[in-house]
Amino acid sequence: MSRLHGKLAVVTGGNSGIGFAIAQRFAAEGAAVTITGRRQAALDTAVAAIGRGVTAVQGDVTSEPDLDRLAAAVQAQGRKLDILVVNSGVAEPAALGEIEPAHFDRILDTNTRAALFTVQKLLPLMGEGSAIVLVGSIAGFIGTPGFTAYNASKAAIRSFARTWARELAPRGIRVNTLSPGPIETPIFDTANDEFREMIRQMVPMGRFGRPEETAAAALFLASDDSSFVTGAELCVDGGAAQG
């Protein structure tokens, strides 16, 4: 049985990695899915790979006009938005003492500021029974060295979920955080073998996670299976942050 039959979902950053896996799983479960991304070619590839049930809106989540276009495209579908997955994000290292204002602004604008305004822009389209899934990271609470801005941006995401879960409860909207650990996505494509081995050793299960495993957790938080879950954080990390 399709767990999202008849649902309308938006997945930001749905053209690759975790976002793509989530969009693909949601479509397979019967949802009509709209994905976003900055690169039209990547969006076209994702739409072709997912197939039926998915559409794409090109845009940058840090751009208010682009968020307006996304909201207009969703509204044009003529029904309420049931699921919003805020997934767009960037991760770039910079050691303390070497952090430039441009680096800090880029990370916080994309990961934190854009998350807030994406939710705020699409919130009027959501009704009772809707679900918001904010994609955080275990980096938000384990303090990975060399990632000051990124860690802070993901800690803010967790704070958003706690606040919004209470604020939106009277409207019947649930808000939860999905926090992955090391997942085999394009972000690790350029990592050398030494770094990848160091990451693997951090994980009690001894491996990177797969995007599909993160998508399965997102499905739980987005579906009625988690109807009494809000303000929570679900870590998909192979135990990396649980010791």
Catalytic residue among 150, 160, 164, 208: 150
The 10 Å CB-count burial string (b at 16+, else e) for 16-38 is bbbbbbbbbbbbbbebbbbbbbb
Handedness of CA 121, 123, 126, 130 (dihedral sign): positive
3-state secondary structure of 86: strand
Per the annotation, the verdict on 202 as an active-site residue is no
Inter-axis angle of helices 17-28 and 211-222, to 10 degrees? 50
The bridge status of strand 233-236 relative to strand 54-58 is unpaired
Q: Which residues contact 69 (CB under 8 A, 6 or more apart)?
A: 57, 59
**Counting beta carbons within 10 angstroms of the beta carbon of residue 42, is it exposed (0 to 12), middle (13 to 18) or buried (19 or more)?**
middle
3-state secondary structure of 78: coil
The closest alpha carbon to 25, from 223, 235, 233, belongs to 223
Residues 100, 94: contact at Cβ < 8 Å? yes
Residues acting as catalytic residues: 150
